[in-house]
Amino acid sequence: MASLMEDLLDVLEKEEKQYQDLIELGLEKKAAVIKADIKALDEITAREGDVASVLQNLAKHRTRVLNDMATVLGKEPGEMTITKMIGYLDGQPKEQEKLLEIKKKLLATGKKMNNINQQNEVLLKQALEMVEFDLTLLKSMRQAPETANYNRRAYNTGDLLGGGGFDAKQ
């Protein structure tokens, strides 16, 4: 059981480190969005994908370790969580404290990462709104206003005024 506990603590510490890396990438992404640096955003997104892949592997490993611990304790393997494991460690205050500490660190890191992601989401929405505004502005500058010309049946003909250029004879 001691080796399983060490393995669990090791996996949780590695997960927390990966989440810290995601926080750093989120801050880089924030700066890239503000600068509208598409190339940097692309690179950051690729690095985030790599970190997410590592996190997925660590989560699978954590689940395996928790299931093994549940089996050793005679509990249902699929239902074991870190919180339940902390509760089962009443007789081992040292291990219980370590597990509680890493759980708190993980929760704090997750909360910080969530805040950064929400800020980035707002920034990206604002950037998209600006792009949409710019496109609408460009379209309206290219399109000449319609004239008020009507045909015999009193329908607007939809004729456009001049090509938008300045005609001058020299």
* pLDDT tens per residue across span 13-63: 999 999 999 999 999 999 998 898 889 999 999 999 999 999 999 999 999
| Average pLDDT over all residues of the chain | 86
Q: What is the pLDDT of residue 112?
A: 96
- Phi and psi at 151, nearest 5°, equal -90, -175
Task: With beta carbons less than 8 A apart as the criterion, state whether 30 and 121 touch.
Answer: no
CA 40 distance to own-chain centroid: 15
Nearest Cα residue to 99 out of 3, 13, 1: 13
- Please name every residue paired with 73 in a beta bridge, in sequence order, or none if there are none: none
Q: What pLDDT was estimated at residue 148?
A: 64
For the entire predicted model, the pTM comes to: 0.74
Taking 60 as the threshold, does the pLDDT of residue 80 lie above it? yes
pLDDT band at 140 (very low <50, low <70, confident <90, very high): confident
pLDDT given for residue 18 in this prediction? 95
CB environment 155-168: b (16+ within 10 A), e (fewer): eeeeeeeeeeeeee
| Phi-psi domain of 126 (left: phi exceeds 0; alpha: psi -120 through 50; beta: other) | alpha
What pLDDT is attached to residue 119? Answer: 94
Classify residue 74 by its DSSP letter.
T
pLDDT of residue 134: 86
Amino acid at the residue 29: K
End-to-end C-alpha distance for the chain, whole angstroms: 94
Compute the distance between CA of residue 4 and CA of residue 26 in angstroms, rounded to an integer.
Answer: 33
Average pLDDT over residues 141-146: 64
Rounded-to-10 torsion of CA 76, 81, 82, 85: -20
* Mean pLDDT to the nearest integer, 98-125: 94
Q: Please give the DSSP secondary-structure letter assigned to residue 78.
A: G
Handedness of CA 93, 94, 96, 102 (dihedral sign): positive
**Averaged pLDDT, 4-18:** 93
- Indicate whether 97 pLDDT > 90: yes
Is pLDDT above 60 for 162? no
